[in-house]
A and B are shown apart, each in its own frame.
Chain A
């Protein structure tokens, strides 16, 4: 009890120094959590994928289309439960300041394959009924202030012209890795207007048994090997992972910056701790004289360092967690599900522990080993 009060009194002596140091630690851990969350979010999208879903793309490259005729032939393969297809639209809305993805899909089969894209039955029905309708993510609706039933016009960059869609549904993803700012419309609308002869961007295939993924993938690729458009089939997870790797070495970049941040703060707080210790050499000698053991003095200094490090950590990690949850941040759709993970919090706690040891150990040892007589000479 008395020891705790002594530690608190010491912290209160240079209030400004204590507060600034704690805030410094808090800022560092806020940055640490933010940088790590970039890495964990990208990793989460890379690991995401329905176990039973395969993605079939053109082997020549993802930007090349596939013939519509493949749908029936894939469906006929054994082990295939359902087939759907989608295309990238690549349009611009308004001044194009806020980018979002648009996909043309086969409505019934696509929503059946993606139960994660959930929306009310009546809206789903409306989407199935009306050819020029579209469904949008909840976030998109909020960003642009759209309403249900509103017409939205998008300029096509791949498919030229103005395209008007009527919003008939608003979906909420059940998994946060799924983007909630997409616009999904019907591929038959696209085909009708382009008059294009049955092509699509890619196929999504649901298989009966997740263990058969490799075998079914091979069967699909073998089927089209000698056709004009050979395919490349893989699990949805592998498909998403290949997108994640396109960022380049984000992990190294974020890791390096994170290290620099932690080190910079280490310097600052270690410096503050050492300054405090230097101020108190005489005091420590007095405490020793009146009977405080070396071990207690060591503990007192470490406790002080610990309080600074962990208060800062709670502030920094807490504000990062709160901020990203409260603002529902997703980096304009590039990082869906940007949330601080429990593992990041644990690692942040580890950083705080490291900070406590690095900034407290040297002064604490010095306090414990202080020769009393010599130090007392300096006391007035």
Chain B
């Protein structure tokens, strides 16, 4: 027969301070666990959302980032004529040959600090090819003018990015005519303008990448094979989503490994706390346990009961940890993505799955910490303890 859970709940409430301290210890571990994984999560999500599964991204063969790539005009026009490129409503191929450079922008809070911000020169088709991008304020830059559109995430963090203001880079002045959103992706940390305007200012007659919409999204492999086998082209073709996700791989896994490492060391400390608390609980309730055993409860029930008690304390801690970690959801932070050498702003993402993982983590800590004390309770010599 099982010992009712209410017995454990009442026992826990008997020693509120000790329980609270143990739960708080577990809670802090869970909060750090959720917080760090939310950071890794947010970073990965920002890059994963950057691409669209319907798009292909073409880079020079061997280039592993947009920055190190180079695609000449001839290649771009050959790609535009490819049957694998979708045709837009206006009858033109949905393809955007893009200039990709990094410019240093001073941070407003610290004059010595500089962020490498992506400047992307796009063709007019890009607004249709990159379907997740929408202008939220102002109008699109006009062809032939020194006009730029600034990603939403840059606006609050850098000076001269407001509508109508003038931003100077590449030895020229650029008027900000719009702000754009891109579903929280890394695009929101970029500055967009016309490719033909950026070419002479930066790297001359060369694009860095070509992005195009696949005529048949399911036919990516065929398109990749055809284009990479084409003798006139020396290119690599990537599915856009895969390419950008791969850009987050290194830093994303560093953050995850760091999260695991830090929280597992912390967890060991918290388990030690739970062990101490539960041993003390068992020691101070010797006669009580003996009575339970005398009444006919199976030692296994006693074991389960004390494990449950430890789990309850840890569960309370887990819930507390979730509450502590929740406020960071959506907080925007930024770092340099070393894979692309550019600064990316992203927000912490606390997902329900992450919260659940945190709670499960807490319960595991409780059960692990409660096991040996619970076993001692179950093995208590009855006669001796009853004295």
Contacts and interface: CB of A to CB of B under 8 A. Distances in A.
Closest 9 pairs between A and B when the two form their complex, measured CB to CB:
A268-B273, A248-B335, A246-B336, A245-B113, A264-B28, A267-B25, A271-B21, A20-B272, A158-B68
12 contacts: A60-B170, A64-B101, A157-B68, A160-B62, A245-B107, A253-B39, A257-B36, A260-B29, A261-B262, A263-B24, A267-B22, A267-B28
A191 B39 CA distance: 42
Interface in A268-295: 268, 270-272, 274-275
Interface of B: 17-18, 21-22, 24-25, 28-29, 31-32, 35-36, 39, 60-65, 67-68, 101-104, 107, 110, 112-116, 169-171, 201-203, 250, 262, 265-266, 268-270, 272-273, 275-277, 279-280, 333-336, 338, 341, 343
Given A31-B265, A246-B336, A248-B336, A62 B62 contact: no
A28 interface: yes
A160 B234 CA distance: 11
Nearest to A243: B336
Nearest to A58: B104
A234 B145 CA distance: 33
A23 interface: yes
Given A260-B28, A271-B273, A27 B268 contact: yes
Contacts of B107: 245
B334 A248 contact: yes
Nearest to B119: A61
A18 B202 CA distance: 66
Interface of A: 16-17, 20-21, 23-24, 27-28, 30-31, 35, 59-64, 90, 92, 99, 155-158, 160-161, 230, 232, 238, 241-242, 245-249, 253, 256-257, 260-261, 263-265, 267-268, 270-272, 274-275, 334
B113 A268 contact: no
Contacts of B343: 246
B340 to A, nearest CB: 11
Contact of A242 (B28, B35, B112): B112
B21 A270 contact: yes
A256 B203 CA distance: 42
Contacts, number: 152
Contact of A21 (B65, B262, B276): B276
Contacts of B201: 60
Given A17-B279, A247-B336, A61 B103 contact: yes
A201 B351 CA distance: 43
A144 to B, nearest CB: 19
Contacts of A31: 262, 265-266
Central interface residue in B31, B103, B104, B201, by most chain A CB within 10 Å: B104
Contacts of A62: 102, 104, 116
Contact of A16 (B29, B60, B170, B279): B279
A35 B201 CA distance: 43
Nearest to A38: B258
B21 A17 contact: no
A268 B116 contact: no
Contacts of B18: 271, 274-275
A271 B62 contact: no
A51 to B, nearest CB: 17
Nearest to A92: B64
B67 to A, nearest CB: 6
Given A21-B272, A260-B28, 5 more contacts: A20-B272, A155-B62, A238-B112, A241-B112, A267-B21
Contacts of A61: 101-104, 116
A263 B320 CA distance: 14
Nearest to B36: A257
Contact of A27 (B67, B114, B169, B266): B266
Contacts of B335: 246-248
Contact of A245 (B25, B63, B114, B275): B114
Contact of B169 (A24, A30, A60, A249): A60
A96 to B, nearest CB: 8
Contacts of A63: 67, 101-102, 116, 341
A275 B29 CA distance: 22
Central interface residue in A60, A245, A249, by most chain B CB within 10 Å: A60
A158 B208 CA distance: 11
A349 B277 CA distance: 26
A347 B203 CA distance: 50
Given A31-B266, A60-B171, A274-B17, A157 B276 contact: no
Contacts of B250: 99
Central interface residue in B24, B25, B270, by most chain A CB within 10 Å: B25
A242 B60 contact: no
A231 to B, nearest CB: 12
Contacts of B29: 260, 264
B269 A27 contact: yes
Contact of A90 (B21, B68, B334): B68
A13 B136 CA distance: 69
A241 B169 CA distance: 22
Contacts of A256: 35
B114 A257 contact: no
A24 B202 contact: no
Nearest to B24: A267
Given A62-B102, A63-B102, A245-B112, A271 B68 contact: no
A230 B170 CA distance: 10
